[in-house]
Amino acid sequence: MNAAQLPPVAPEVTATLVEGLSPRLRKRLDAAVTKLAARPTHRDGDTTTIEVDDETELRLHAPGGVVAKAEDITCGCLLAPACVHRAAAACAAPAADLAPEPAEQATPEAPGPASGTAPAAVGPGAARALGLNVAPTSGPDAATGVAADAAPGRAPNTAPDAATPHETASPDQRAAADALWSAGAAVLEAGVDGAGAVTQSALLRAAHTARLRHLPRAAGAALSVVTLLRAARSGNPSYRTAELVTALAELLGTAHRVGTASGAELAAVRGRVRRPYSPDGSLRLYGLFTEPVVTDSGHGGVRTWVAGADGRLFTVGDVAPGGAGRALGVADRAVRLGDSALTHRELGRAGLAVSGATVSPDGRLGAGKAVKAVTARGAAWTEPPLAALWGTPPAEQAARALRSTSRYADPDGTGSDLLFLDVELLGAIREPGGACLLAQCEGGVRVRLTVADDDPALAHRDNLALLAAAPGTRLRIIGRLIPATHPRLTLLACTHPTGEGTVDLGLDRLRRADLPDPSAPAHFAPPQPAGPGGPSPLYLLERRVEQTVPAGRAALGLLSDVTAETRRIRRGGLPTAAALLTALCASAAQRDRDLFGRLLPADTDGFAAYWLAAARYTAAVSESLCAAAWNGTEGDQVAVPPVPVHDVAG
């Protein structure tokens, strides 16, 4: 059985079933989940059946696509309804997302997807973080979920979007935030290996309570942690520890800030249940490029970027289950926006005149019935208004993109992570993970250009290899910022090497005949020396932060003396990082004893506070190093303002 075969289950349903188990059955729950995953499953309409054994069947009834009540999970065994099978099925199924998208953003294949702050570990959540329109087909995907408001028994969307200047969180909201903090701290205490179904159910219960108390941002973060924990424990190849670090830090940081925020900060901490689409009148749009989108969960499609006459960026997307094959096919389908007959490829080079437009804060164009759009003339990248996008200095563009991609920024949905650069190609350079293309842009800044997707069905890698054979070629490019200690982009589109037209590097394939010297082999640029300051020792703290997540607090508690590491960090000009590492490891190892010499419970809250401070600090320093690199100070010592160890709010 694959989790994707099961319908999403409401978080409160899973929590209720787990809480109803006896202590003996709770100990058997993780084994029951694993055993149930190996059993055959089939679906008939709204009902999914799991064959527990030759004589017993377990049924999940999902009217509207989601299991919304505990009674919707039934088992035929003798111990039902108090058996472990019902809870195991709920824990094996994906958690239903709490924050649905507006209906107008749905693609025709299926109802609108879920969104919000709950990223899926294996693709759709990451796609939503990029502003994609991920739409499930019949039979919801494991990581996609369904529209929560469509399910009976769910809380209506009554959360306020704004707060008065002096408004603070209510006692109920503080209590819900405290429960989220405790559940997140328990995950850090146990680590991935110890955070089984019981620990996850506590997170789901806290998420449900937070949703009812109008804290959708924190609730979504809790669901993200659960989804990532399940991916990690199931051995999903797309799982990344860094993603769980970010999700846990978002959960703990948001829960902490609920009790201290007020006014506009409180509104940001509470978040939004829905991503609002607001009317934007009439728009004159000019196509920029189209990028294929392929997620780890098997979703595929495209996203077309367009710019308004005032330079604002907008997107039109079409992503649904289907992988790379669907991405290539959708590129030649008509854009579903008004009466336009343009395909996505064509829109990337043409224009649109739109009336009655609706736009989300992150620039996605709504496709409601009132929207009217007709084809119009496009503009070359060297013509106004598009030419102005390349007129901003690279350092300013990188700073704007960093604000958009910051891991813990308040989700206002504004900004873009795209950079528009004029570069000269220098050739390929070898890196530990393979080769990338080195280019030089304004101010002498050298930027590494990498492929956006390694899927062989897409054209990214072949095109990058061909461009490496054309050193000295000058191109106008569009890339997506990769936060790193050196300037780095994923290359998405460029002007054609011959100077005629543009190339969507994931969809269009360059040929050797397109190069200035078709016979030239790939050119490797000289190795790039490290700057005078050398590599940052920040990784010494980062690896301890990441080490905690899979192994738990005890892993750091068993460390020997970290004096050598802290000394090296201080020499690198990061005294706060050194203090954080010392405090983190000391907190992990601290275990007090009572009067009889027995060990007392560990201070999970104190350890979680130090871990959160370290996680947020490393993210802030990494972003500072990235910004410094784009300012032409790559490798130099970067002054980072000290952050108090106790300041876990970030």
Q: Are 446 and 426 in contact (CB under 8 A)?
A: yes
The residue-averaged pLDDT of 474-495 equals 94
How would residue 9 be classed by pLDDT, with cut points 50, 70 and 90? very high
Residue 435 pLDDT:
84
Residue 635 pLDDT:
43
Residue 207 pLDDT:
95
The structure tokens listed for 563 are: 């004096």
Q: Are 253 and 612 in contact (CB under 8 A)?
A: yes
Q: Are 104 and 368 in contact (CB under 8 A)?
A: yes
High-pLDDT (> 70) share of the chain, %: 84
Residue 379 pLDDT:
95
High-pLDDT (> 90) share of the chain, %: 55
Q: In the sheet that 313-321 helps form, which strands lie side by side, from edge to edge?
A: 313-321, 299-308, 278-294, 351-359, 372-376
User: ω into residue 535 within 30 of 0, thus cis?
Assistant: no
Please state the pTM of the whole predicted model.
Answer: 0.80
CA nearest 222: which of 182, 166, 194? Answer: 182
Task: Judge whether residue 411 has pLDDT over 70.
Answer: no
Q: Is 5 exposed, middle or buried (0-12, 13-18, 19+ CB in 10 A)?
A: middle
The residue-averaged pLDDT of 46-51 equals 92
The residue-averaged pLDDT of 3-11 equals 84
Task: Judge whether residue 597 has pLDDT over 80.
Answer: no
pLDDT tens digit string along 387-399? 999 999 999 999 9
Residue 112 pLDDT:
32
The residue-averaged pLDDT of 376-385 equals 94
Residue 568 pLDDT:
94
Residue 117 pLDDT:
33
The residue-averaged pLDDT of 22-31 equals 94
pLDDT tens digit string along 512-526? 888 887 777 777 777
Averaged pLDDT of the chain: 83
The residue-averaged pLDDT of 467-496 equals 93
Residue 385: C-alpha distances to residues 78, 362, 401, 501 (Å): 71, 20, 20, 16
Crossing angle of helices 216-233/241-258, nearest 10°? 150
**99-108, 366-375, 461-470, 586-595: range with lowest mean pLDDT:** 99-108
pLDDT tens digit string along 228-259? 999 999 888 888 999 999 999 999 999 999 99
SS3 assignment, position 434: strand
- The residues, any chain, with a CB within 8 Å of residue 434's CB and separated by 6 or more, are none
Q: Can you give the three-state secondary structure of 46-112, one letter per residue?
A: CEEEEECCCCCEEEEECHHHCECCHHHEEECCCCCCCCHHHHHHHHHCCECCCEECCHHHCCCCCCC
* CA–CA dist 418, 400 (Å, integer): 9
Task: Judge whether residue 345 has pLDDT over 60.
Answer: yes
* CA–CA dist 587, 564 (Å, integer): 18
pLDDT tens digit string along 427-440? 998 888 778 999 99
Compare 576 and 518 and report the one with higher pLDDT: 576
